[in-house]
A and B are shown apart, each in its own frame.
Chain A
Amino acid sequence: MTTTYAVLSEGLRKRYGEVHALRGLDLAVPEGTVCGVLGPNGAGKTTAVRVLTTLVAPDAGSARVAGHDVVRDPAGVRGKIAVTGQYASVDGDLTGAENLRLFARLLRAPRSRAGELLERFDLTAAADRPARTYSGGMRRRLDLAASLLVRPDVLFLDEPTTGLDPHSRNGIWDAVRELAAEGTTVLLTTQYLEEADQLADDIVLIDEGRVAQRGTPAELKALIGHHAEVVVADPSLLEAAAAVLDRLTGAAPVLDAERRTVGAVTADTTLTLPRLVREIDAAGVHIVDASLRPPTLDEVFLRLTARKEPAA
């Protein structure tokens, strides 16, 4: 069986003046899967979504979404997708109900669908209030509802939970899971590793407009490993602790004399905290704290980009 891709892009480039937002982006999202596009601010996530949703024409490269070419057949793409942007893509001056009825009309969806979705997203009570009076979470739910008036083949979510409280975030996550279970392909961008971990079948890490790494959440975690750190009792012990960490992780430890810490990122996922503590203790190094945790997104990026670029 051959894989059909809902989103397939090759060498997408987009420049805004001096800023190279995309520098040859290749994406391949199989139909019916959830792809998490992960990256820091300015990595090119939003530009990628804008190109794939026909809002912006790429300078170079090609992309097909739901079988239609985004450059040659944007109208074909628009008939198959829905987009919920980072910024509210509803009309703040209209009420929630008016917004959904307007978009339902434009999409030739039955009027009753608007009411169903207001209920589904818990907005019935606020239906007749202008959308600009909504909380961040309500507005995002209205936005998502507007994207589901007609079931899209491909749903684009640009940082759907940025700035939301955990409760609202969980609501959006549930909706995405439900959609994915029904077979909609979802491409979502996020700054949160946890969000990609929770929702995505595949994760694409992008940095400076290019794919830095891709894989399933488990593959990426194995690839990145863990961040080990110990706090020594006395600064004179830093070197000895570093020697142990170097031996255990195979990575060059980073020393911080002021905080009295030694840290290292390890690709070895078999390393456990008890073993780390035992080895340090056996070397006669007094420590007051030790941790072994998944790296932060910053550490992931430092590590993944350091590997490719020559040391400055």
Chain B
Amino acid sequence: MSALVHDGTAVLGRHLQRIRHAPAITVMTQTMPIVFLLFFGYVFASALAVPGAEYRAYLVPGILVATASGGLMTGMFQAAQDSHRGVMDRFRTLPVSRAAVPLGQALADLVASAVGTVPLLLVGLAMGWRIEGTALEALGAFGLLLLFRFATTWIGILLGLASQSEEAAGQLGSASFMLPLLSNAYIPTDGMPGWLRTIAEWNPISAVTTAVRKLFGNAPVPTDAAWPVAHPVAGALLWSLVLIALFAPLAVRRYARR
């Protein structure tokens, strides 16, 4: 266990150094949400009415969770890049824990995304969004965001390790921006056709978004929604933990596969 911590920390350090040397991808993935926030918040806001909430305050948690779901893309891209270059071969021939390399990557992603969210929060504040709940609830909201990011990163790492090429991973990764569109991250689900509404409400992004809105005190919980959205904090926790429990071991196994 202490070997895993030692090796995982070393790999974490490697990824943070990489981000420092080549910050472009990280900066871009954290800038896009700000663009989305401004677009939705000012261009579409007038056409959107949200029951019991001001739209921009409703939108900020949605964008935060959509950004957290971007771990899928960054995790996949990074893992694909590593596994199609020689450096992964060296890692695999070193006498280090099989979990250390993917774990270090996931932790580095978590650190980078936590830091990268600060500008997004500042823009949100400038647009009138506020934390209206207690400090403890706000901490819970940030905790859920990080936990969900950790979960989506593991899915991304598995997909990246399984990818045929860096390009394929890049394309699949860019398509993942559609996932938040099929949720309540940008607009409420009650206006959607029944079947689509069911899909959207069972999308993990919806449960996490609703939980973050609730904990920040930005919007009430919809009562007639599917279970994970109607019980958002439990739903968000369960979704994240189930995804981690499923995808982290699969990713480690895939990494260790010979």
Q: Residues of A with Cβ closer than 8 Å to B? A: 53-57, 74-75, 78-79, 81-83, 85, 87-95, 98, 102-103, 105-107, 130, 146
Contacts and interface: CB of A to CB of B under 8 A. Distances in A.
Given A89-B90, A90-B86, A98 B17 contact: yes
A90 to B, nearest CB: 6
Interface in B1-25: 6-7, 10-11, 13-14, 17-18, 21-22
Contacts of B194: none
Interface residues on B, range: 20 to 34
Given A55-B92, A74-B258, A103-B94, A94 B86 contact: no
Given A78-B94, A79-B95, A105-B10, A55 B89 contact: yes
Nearest to B98: A75
Contact of B90 (A56, A74, A90, A130): A90
B93 to A, nearest CB: 5
B14 A53 contact: no
B86 A55 contact: no
B95 A93 contact: no
Contact of A54 (B13, B100, B258): B258
Interface of B: 6-7, 10-11, 13-14, 17-18, 21-22, 85-87, 89-96, 100, 258
User: Interface centre among A74, A79, A91, A103, by most B CB within 10 Å?
Assistant: A91
Nearest to A82: B93
A279 to B, nearest CB: 53
A83 B21 contact: no
A229 to B, nearest CB: 41
B94 A94 contact: no
Contacts of B96: 106
B94 A89 contact: no
User: Interface centre among B10, B13, B89, B91, by most A CB within 10 Å?
Assistant: B89
A94 B92 contact: no
Contacts of A53: 93
Given A56-B258, A91-B14, A93-B22, A107 B94 contact: yes
Contacts of B258: 54-57, 74
Nearest to B258: A57
Given A93-B17, A107-B94, A130-B21, 6 more contacts: A78-B94, A81-B93, A87-B89, A88-B85, A94-B21, A106-B96
A88 B7 CA distance: 22
